[in-house]
Structure 1
Amino acid sequence: MFNKYSNSTQPVHATWGLVLALFFTSGACTSANAQVNEGKPEFIEATQRWLDNAVSSVRPAGGNPLRMEVTVGELDSRLRLAPCARVEPYIPVGTRLWGKTRLGLRCLEGSTRWNVFLPVTIRAFGAAWLIKGNVASGTVLTEADAMESEVDWAEESSPIVALPSQWVGQVASRALTTGQALRQAMIKPAQVFQAGAQVRVVAQGAGFQITSDGQALSAGVVGQPARVRMDNGRVMSGVVLDNRTVKLEI
């Protein structure tokens, strides 16, 4: 994701916002000559068509297009909107068109200018990994813990973790249950050694590499920084590569 395939689902959300921004600023407006209480206004049906067209080309970074579904809700039945010759949709500030959200509609040409919000649900179906059985918090995940299936990526705000390389070997950050789709908020890197452990320190620079021994002064998590006391007493910081190696950049 939406960050679909992550590394991050951000490209999906960015693409979606850009598509809509370009679409809605290219003159995609319609007329409305009916009040809300007289049945569904013409601009509601037009808005559905606009959204369907806008999301049809959304593609997660590095993956296949998601199967998008847009459901337009109803305006508050208590509203009484004056006739309007031109209604313009817009994305409210701070709103992300993903999952249950809203779209702004404003009258640009009418006897009375008005501005309303329309509830919208955006669904984005694509391949993901579902937990096959209950997994306790702190468990290191293996390929046997999940199976591939199609899910709604937009059902929750946390991005989907779409590739096995992104979650195999990671630790469940909370208890997981059967049928849950794996998302970034559900996993974290595994701790591979504790403070006090003996580790190998690799110092690498331009054209050389030096290996030495040291003692970890902090817990080691793959890909995260850790502090190490060298044999000469000097304290260094580096990045954890595996269960006994810390890499220093010189």
Structure 2
Amino acid sequence: MNQAAMNRAAKKSLLFAIAAFAAGTAQADAMNPAALRQTVEQFLQVQSAGLPGKVTVTVGNIDARMKLAACPAPEAFLMPGSKAWGKTTVGVRCAAPTPWTVYIQANVGVLGNYIAAATPLSQGQAITEGQLVTMQGDLATLPASIATDKAQVLGRTSNVSISAGTPLRLDALRSQPVVKNGEKVRLVSSGNGFSVSSEGKAVANAADGQVVQVRTAAGQAVSGIARAGGLVEVAF
């Protein structure tokens, strides 16, 4: 090989080396997709702490072709109206040295217990212990108002007929009235060192803890909190 050929080969090798170095530097200065995934996963773990069940966080695919500048402190956030529950979208942003924002799909599964009908339930039928069964599943795939404890539904009635195996929704159940329209009730009021009671007549149905209006013997309308046993607590 003559000197000219050797010089050309040396130059070519040098150019290859410079290109490889530049590519490596650019790769080092890019945001690692694994770091993005970890940021989203850790954020959702914190946001979902305290949920009623075993939480599993799954982060969606991150496009490896996405070129983002390296960020020393990426910040994850939820979009307005979003929550760390079921399918969700998490934003990740960088403030410096190069500002950018990306959005990453994720799923938060919550394995826990919920209450379902063990037998068919008729509309208006008071629910008893033997009509209930505890089941396990992903609560994030069920309605937000799903019952997770039998105590939440015992004694209540359904607004519709429910088939066996159907998860029970609290917004589809009605509490049994402890005060009924037209029935006599006892108005009670107590405080520091005193207690007063009188009789009246309820003008509506009310479950325990609900506000109900009562008409006194003198014809005055008062409002109070319905309690079991036909009592209405009134604040004076």
1:199 to 185, 209, 218: 185
Q: Secondary structure at the match of 2:70?
A: strand
Distance in structure 2 (CA, Å) of the matches to 1:52 and 1:114: 20
Q: Secondary structure at the match of 1:141?
A: coil
2:50 to 34, 37, 59: 59
| Bigger fraction of residues in helix | 2
Does 1:91 find its partner at 2:78?
yes
8 Å contact from structure 2 (residues 179, 226) kept in 1: no
Unaligned runs of 5+ in 2: 1-28
1:71 to 50, 58, 70: 58
8 Å contact from structure 1 (residues 205, 249) kept in 2: no
Post-superposition shift, 1:44? 5.0
Moved more, 102-111 or 201-210: 102-111
Alignment of 1:189-228 (within 5 A): 189-228=175-214
1:146 to 125, 132, 135: 132
1:186 to 172, 176, 186: 172
| 2:112 aligned partner, one-letter code | G
Distance in structure 2 (CA, Å) of the matches to 1:201 and 1:133: 39
Post-superposition shift, 1:94? 2.7
| 1:98 aligned partner, one-letter code | W
Does 1:166 find its partner at 2:157?
no
Partner of 1:10: none
The alignment's C-alpha RMSD in Å is: 3.2
| 1:126 aligned partner, one-letter code | G
Post-superposition shift, 1:109? 5.7
Partner of 1:32: 31
8 Å contact from structure 1 (residues 153, 159) kept in 2: no
Moved more, 114-123 or 187-196: 187-196
CA deviation map 1:193-228 (0-9, x unaligned): 442222232233333333332211222322111111
Distance in structure 1 (CA, Å) of the matches to 2:102 and 2:172: 36
Cα separation, partners in 2 of 1:159 and 1:84, compared to 1, 3 Å: farther
| 2:66 aligned partner, one-letter code | L
| 2:34 aligned partner, one-letter code | E
Q: TM-score, normalised by structure 2?
A: 0.70
8 Å contact from structure 1 (residues 31, 43) kept in 2: no
Distance in structure 2 (CA, Å) of the matches to 1:55 and 1:248: 41
Distance in structure 1 (CA, Å) of the matches to 2:167 and 2:220: 45
2:113 to 127, 132, 143: 127
Does 1:42 find its partner at 2:34?
yes
Distance in structure 2 (CA, Å) of the matches to 1:180 and 1:31: 50
Would you say how many aligned residue pairs link Structure 1 and Structure 2? 206
Q: Secondary structure at the match of 2:234?
A: strand
8 Å contact from structure 1 (residues 125, 152) kept in 2: yes
Post-superposition shift, 1:107? 4.8
Runs (4+) off by over 4 Å: 107-111
Unaligned runs of 5+ in 1: 1-29, 34-40
Post-superposition shift, 1:237? 1.4
Moved more, 177-186 or 233-242: 177-186
Cα separation, partners in 2 of 1:82 and 1:162, compared to 1, 3 Å: same
Q: TM-score, normalised by structure 1?
A: 0.67
Bigger relative contact order, structure 1 or 2 (CA pairs below 8 A, ≥6 apart): 1
Distance in structure 2 (CA, Å) of the matches to 1:164 and 1:220: 22
| 2:81 aligned partner, one-letter code | G
| 1:59 aligned partner, one-letter code | G
CA deviation map 1:125-178 (0-9, x unaligned): 223322213323433222122122323232235244333333212222444343
| 2:70 aligned partner, one-letter code | A
